[in-house]
């Protein structure tokens, strides 16, 4: 696993594309010559990460649950009883494989999410599970409880089936009636909550474009893009308080191994400081409009790496060298950073950007 523990010096990589590209039409033939995979194979490849699917299925049905605060244990208990009349993810067989997920908002990172087991092949699942949160009552009064129902398919992809949100600030904990099981109608997810519930922390970084690293050369030379990964803030804790995170970088559309660089892994904190600079050469000015820097944060645990969140920094045009690609999907904040870098050569441009869910392109051999 020495792979994940590279030294912290600036490593250098070439942006393959400009070396071999003769005309846009030759782009898809590059895989043999340069380690570039064709764009069609990148965008159509099996993506390694799949986020929740919002809005594909109708939201219907109800959930029955009760909440109680147990003073002696200083715990919130959420008793999830059952759901009825859920939407069918499998329309032909009229069934879903539902489970229930709970968050305490806005403090998801520290508290973590809780989940019931998946009950297969039913629209009326019975759970009878208690999900427990160790939390002071005073803190609870500043929070909301979000319960959402999801279908999990055989590929471990999740589809949203509805949610309920309770404002705990106004909750009457002394009312006996409030401790009884109650039915609540499931609702559609509102966009801000969808974003909030998937909060993945932030990355502080700086970018710089150096147009011609070799002064005095008569021939037109290519420039370099420098990526300084400073630190991450409030990364989600997937397994209690343990986190051993590192950052991977790749410059799309080049998905060859040569394009990939990594920081070392930093353990035991969800605010890791990396201070790692990555350098990619081979950039002509026109390549800056076609390429995209993909930075992804991973938790390394035993032999697996779990995706935590990522950024895609580019112009977000949806196209690269005339081909439509799904990875050219930068947010307005990501685009703003790239634009500033392009407009201010030889200057470090710093930003702190929210990490988000990405469909991550596979590395080609």
349 in the same domain as 206: yes
Query: Is the pLDDT assigned to residue 107 strictly greater than 70?
Result: no
69 in the same domain as 214: no
d(CA 359, CA 160): 18
119 in the same domain as 206: no
Query: Which residue segment(s) compose the domain that 83 sits in?
Result: 47-185
Comparing C-alpha atoms, which of 310, 319, 287, 300 is closest to residue 359?
310
- pLDDT reported for residue 112: 62
Comparing C-alpha atoms, which of 160, 154, 137 is closest to residue 67?
137
- pLDDT reported for residue 132: 93
In a domain, 363, yes or no: no
In a domain, 221, yes or no: yes
Confidence of residue 365 (pLDDT cuts 50, 70, 90): low
In a domain, 108, yes or no: yes
In a domain, 351, yes or no: yes
Q: End of a domain among 153, 185, 217?
A: 185
Q: End of a domain among 155, 185, 215?
A: 185
Confidence of residue 239 (pLDDT cuts 50, 70, 90): low
| List of E strands, 42-196 | 62-70, 75-84, 98-105, 114-115, 126-134, 144-152, 158-167, 182-185
Number of domains present in the structure of the chain: 2
- pLDDT reported for residue 18: 40
Summarize pLDDT for 58-81 with one digit per residue, the tens: 789 999 999 999 999 999 999 999
Query: Is the pLDDT assigned to residue 4 strictly greater than 60?
Result: no
**Distances in whole angstroms, Cα of residue 160 to Cα of each of 78, 152, 166, 237:** 20, 9, 18, 22
d(CA 352, CA 296): 14
330 in the same domain as 227: yes
340 in the same domain as 206: yes
Decide if 52 contacts 67 (C-beta within 8 A).
no
Confidence of residue 253 (pLDDT cuts 50, 70, 90): very high
Comparing C-alpha atoms, which of 88, 95, 85 is closest to residue 57?
88
**Interstrand relation of 319-320 and 261-262 (parallel, antiparallel or unpaired):** unpaired
222 in the same domain as 339: yes
217 in the same domain as 77: no
Query: Is the pLDDT assigned to residue 331 strictly greater than 60?
Result: yes
pTM of the predicted model as reported, rounded to 2 decimal places: 0.52
d(CA 356, CA 262): 19
Query: Is the pLDDT assigned to residue 11 strictly greater than 60?
Result: no
CATH number at residue 127: 2.60.40.150
207 in the same domain as 171: no
What's the DSSP call for residue 153?
A: -
In a domain, 35, yes or no: no
In a domain, 194, yes or no: no
**Distances in whole angstroms, Cα of residue 337 to Cα of each of 161, 251, 314, 334:** 36, 16, 8, 5
Structure tokens at 111: 């508290």
Q: End of a domain among 185, 213, 235?
A: 185
78 in the same domain as 106: yes
d(CA 329, CA 327): 5
Neighbours of 197 (CB within 10 A): 19
209 in the same domain as 130: no
CA 278 remoteness from chain centre:
21
Confidence of residue 57 (pLDDT cuts 50, 70, 90): confident
98 in the same domain as 53: yes
In a domain, 93, yes or no: yes
150 in the same domain as 58: yes
In a domain, 139, yes or no: yes
Non-local (6+) Cβ contacts of 226 within 8 A are 10, 207, 208, 209, 210, 277, 278, 279, 348
């Amino acid at each position: 696993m020495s792979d994940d523990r590279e030294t912290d010096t600036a490593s250098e990589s070439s942006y393959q594309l400009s070396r071999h590209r003769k005309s846009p039409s030759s782009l898809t033939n590059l895989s043999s010559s340069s380690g570039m995979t064709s764009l069609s194979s990148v965008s159509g490849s099996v993506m390694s990460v799949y986020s929740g699917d919002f809005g594909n299925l109708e939201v219907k049905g109800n959930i029955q649950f009760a909440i109680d605060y147990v003073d002696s244990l200083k715990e919130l208990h959420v008793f999830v009883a059952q759901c009825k009349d859920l939407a069918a993810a499998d329309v032909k067989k009229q069934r879903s494989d539902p489970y229930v997920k709970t968050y305490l908002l806005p403090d998801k990172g520290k508290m973590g999410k809780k989940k019931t087991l998946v009950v297969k092949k039913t629209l009326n699942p019975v759970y009878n599970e208690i999900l427990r949160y160790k939390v002071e009552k005073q803190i609870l009064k500043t929070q909301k409880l979000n319960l959402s129902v999801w279908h999990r398919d055989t590929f471990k992809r999740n589809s949203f089936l509805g949610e309920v949100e309770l404002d705990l600030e106004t909750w009457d904990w002394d009312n006996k009636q409030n401790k009884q099981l109650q039915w609540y109608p499931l609702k559609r997810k509102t966009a801000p909550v969808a974003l909030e519930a998937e909060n993945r922390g932030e990355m502080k970084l700086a970018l710089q474009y150096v147009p011609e690293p070799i002064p005095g050369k008569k021939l037109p030379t290519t420039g370099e893009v420098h990526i300084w990964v400073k630190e991450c803030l409030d990364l989600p804790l997937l397994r209690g308080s343990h986190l051993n995170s590192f950052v991977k970088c790749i410059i799309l559309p080049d998905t060859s191994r040569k394009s990939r660089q990594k920081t070392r892994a930093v353990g035991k904190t969800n605010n890791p400081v990396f201070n790692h600079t990555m350098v990619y050469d081979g950039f002509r000015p026109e390549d800056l409009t076609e390429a995209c820097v993909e930075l992804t944060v991973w938790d390394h645990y035993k032999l697996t790496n779990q995706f935590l969140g990522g950024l895609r920094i580019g112009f977000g045009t949806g196209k690269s060298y005339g081909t439509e690609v799904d990875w050219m999907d930068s947010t307005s904040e990501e685009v703003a950073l790239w634009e500033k870098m392009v407009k201010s050569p030889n200057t470090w441009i710093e930003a702190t950007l929210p990490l988000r869910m990405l469909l991550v392109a596979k590395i080609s051999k």
